[in-house]
Amino acid sequence: MDDIQTERDFYYQQCDKLGGRILQLQKELNQVYTDARRSHTTTSLILKTYDLINHNVAVEEIGKRFLQVILSTMWVDRALVLLYDEETGTFTPQYSLGLERNSPPLLKIDDTVPEFLFVNSNTESTSVTVSFCKAIESQYFIWVFNRFDGIALLIGNDMEDRKFRLPFEEKDRDIVESSLSVFIDILKRKEAEKALLKSERRYRNLVQSSPESIFIYCNGKVEFANNAGLKLLGVENQEEVIGRPSMEFIHPEDRERIGTMIRETRQKHYETPLTEARFRRIDGSTIDTEVVAIPFIFQDRSAVQIVAIDVSERKKMERELVKVEKIESLGILAGGIAHDFNNILTGILGNIELAIAYSSPEREEYKFLENAHSASNRAKELTYKLLTFSKGGVPLTESTKLSDIITDSVNFVLSGSSITCDYSLPADLWPVDIDVVQFRQVIENLTINANQAMPNGGVFSIEAENIDEETIKSLPLSVKRYVKLTIKDHGVGISEKDLLNIFDPYFTTKDGGSGLGLATTYSIIKKHNGLITVESEIGTGTMFIIHIPVSKKEPSEVKKKEEDPETGQGKILVMDDDESVRMVTFQMLAKLGFSTVTANDGNETIELFKAAIESGEPFDGVIIDLTIRGGMGGEETISRLLEIDPDIKAIVSSGYSNNPVMANFQDYGFRGIIKKPFNIRELSECMLNIVSD
């Protein structure tokens, strides 16, 4: 029995040992299982957290996604992310899941809080952990705080359910710390992406709203054009330019130079200085710009950004300035010869008219005199054209309606021509201040131009209209109301290159042309404070557009030319420093019935004028030359004569002057004006106007 009991005790002992070993093994297996679960949880949590990087999620949503990963992976039912505010020293809730209350408490910390703090029910109680546990009201049992990034993560679950979940241990801190660190990295990356997108949007908005044209060229093609760039090229949307060769929109003559600039910018990575370039618009027209090329990275590719400034208006003004300078240069020449040449012409024309007057058509020499008279008048017209360029050649304006002047001038030029004119001249057209003779030149020159442009005949048009301030805002004009003339032909047109020079003196593309017609026209319009522009296309025709300021006065009647000069009577004093002018004026006045006394300069004129008054036989009128070489001129002379006789009837005479007296003679005390070279009919009209007053 003892042996049996001993053997039984042995087996009991072995069973106890085996049971203990089984229990130990079970315990170890449970630990392995727990560790495996923890390892799986850690791995799953990290992987799922990293997976957030690949989701196209906004920064505002990334926090909730992260908490969803926490709740779905770990053994928790609530989680909260807080951000630290350095100014207040508090944490404020940013993202939360599984909370019953809408506003979790604010948590305040101090410098005693470690960089990473782990809190759960097994944590040794300290003043720090107690204060935190109390602050969060035991809703959370893990607290991780990253002081450097100012972010905290709290997670927890209901106390009743903890028995069904793995207990938290200190090593769980690694899981939470790792996931929080990954979340911080993701948050930073998302914030950076958000900032980048915001920066890109800001850049795009800035570029799109820029008044300068901006293009991006990559691999020889247009990759981007802002709104101003589309407008510059004359297109409405990106699709019309994107993907097209970049040089397609550059003027052919500039392509090699601009292409080299773009290649060097991309290869050498430097910004080019501002340079001129002509862009070619979608309709084939050209626009002047100044461009700068900047190295650029576009969608991870090497590119070049072109910034173009539209300088077409400035270029236009520069060309206008060049024209003005050329015309002023010609004006110096014209002004220098005008006085002497017109004095000579006055003598020639006057003597020829006198010879004709004292001759008869039956005589053999009469025909030669008429030919000489005609040639002298052509010389007079040429001189008058030259004087329109002169700086001092101020138009002698009067308020006039344009309709009759336009039709008379056109009919004169088109007499016997194969072309006709289509008029559009409203009855209510505003009057304008013009020099009638000069403006006839303008209409005649443009009519001749249209006639020559249509050698096979056809119809050209002249349209007049009233223009107010609203319509002319974009034009370089100074007053509020204008009359606009549009002269349009359907001829051969003018090339783009020639358009830049058509108003230059002596520039012509026609055989036998003088090159003065359009230059004269330009100068006349300029001196009338107006504007003339031109548009043309080869094979389509040419259009001249003129703006003339509206007059503030009532229009005067255009006087008809009399065939024979009227005679009169009276005593006239003539002052001129040119003997031939004095003599021919003396003879013409005698022919008209006047008695005449002549003087060489102002001093002699004053003495003769005083003597006539003292003798009781004063002069009925005085003709005073404005420019006297080496003596008292007309302006000082009239001033002295007005002191003697405020009612003096004086006429100012000149062939050229840069003095405003010719344009505003009444302001200086003159009653009339006569321009050299004058004929006997013009002298008759002028004298009778003042003597009969």
Question: What is the rounded CA–CA span in Å between residue 651 and residue 671?
Answer: 6
Structure tokens given for 244:
């097209």
Instruction: Output the domain CATH number for residue 180.
Output: 3.30.450.40
Specify the pLDDT at position 169: 57
Structure tokens given for 84:
């630290």
583 and 671 share one domain: yes
For residue range 408-428, list pLDDT tens digits in order: 888 888 877 788 899 999 988
First to last CA, the chain: 178
355 and 300 share one domain: no
Residues 528-542: what's their mean pLDDT? 87
Domain count, the chain: 4
Assess whether pLDDT exceeds 60 at residue 590: yes
Task: Work out the percent of the chain whose per-residue pLDDT is above 90.
Answer: 14
- Range of 62's domain? 49-193
- Highest-scoring range by mean pLDDT, 6-15, 93-102, 611-620, 624-633: 611-620
Of 549, 581, 612, which residue is a domain's last? 549
Residues 433-444: what's their mean pLDDT? 85
pLDDT: which is higher, 632 or 659: 632
Residue type, 501: N
Sign of the dihedral defined by the CA atoms of residues 222, 225, 230, 233, in that order: negative
585 and 491 share one domain: no
693 and 618 share one domain: yes
Residue closest to 118 by CA, chosen among 193, 175, 69, 164? 175
Query: Residue 40 — very low, low, confident or very high, per pLDDT cuts 50/70/90?
Result: low
Residue 382 forms part of a structural domain: no
Task: Work out the percent of the chain whose per-residue pLDDT is above 70.
Answer: 66
Assess whether pLDDT exceeds 80 at residue 306: yes
Specify the pLDDT at position 168: 53
Token match 């905290």: residue?
152
Assess whether pLDDT exceeds 70 at residue 455: yes
Question: What is the rounded CA–CA span in Å between residue 622 and residue 612?
Answer: 12
Residue 387 forms part of a structural domain: no
Residue 5 forms part of a structural domain: no
Structure tokens given for 658:
């840069």
Assess whether pLDDT exceeds 60 at residue 650: yes
Query: Residue 563 — very low, low, confident or very high, per pLDDT cuts 50/70/90?
Result: low
Residue 20 forms part of a structural domain: no
693 and 575 share one domain: yes
Following DSSP, what letter does each residue of 3-65 receive, concatenated? Answer: HHHHHHHHHHHHHHHHHHHHHHHHHHHHHHHHHHHHHHHHHHHHHHHHHGGGS---HHHHHHH
Question: What is the rounded CA–CA span in Å between residue 90 and residue 88?
Answer: 5
361 and 498 share one domain: no
296 and 335 share one domain: no
CA 402 distance to own-chain centroid? 34
Sign of the dihedral defined by the CA atoms of residues 130, 136, 141, 144, in that order: negative
Question: What is the rounded CA–CA span in Å between residue 39 and residue 43?
Answer: 6
Question: What is the rounded CA–CA span in Å between residue 648 and residue 528?
Answer: 31
421 and 463 share one domain: yes
Average pLDDT of the chain is 76
Residue 593 forms part of a structural domain: yes
CA-based max dimension of the chain = 193
Assess whether pLDDT exceeds 50 at residue 123: no
- CB 60: neighbour CB atoms within 10 A? 11
Specify the pLDDT at position 322: 73
367 and 421 share one domain: no
Residue 152 forms part of a structural domain: yes
133 and 251 share one domain: no
Of 129, 159, 193, which residue is a domain's last? 193
pLDDT: which is higher, 345 or 40: 345
Of 310, 340, 357, which residue is a domain's last? 310
154 and 60 share one domain: yes
275 and 345 share one domain: no
Assess whether pLDDT exceeds 90 at residue 597: yes
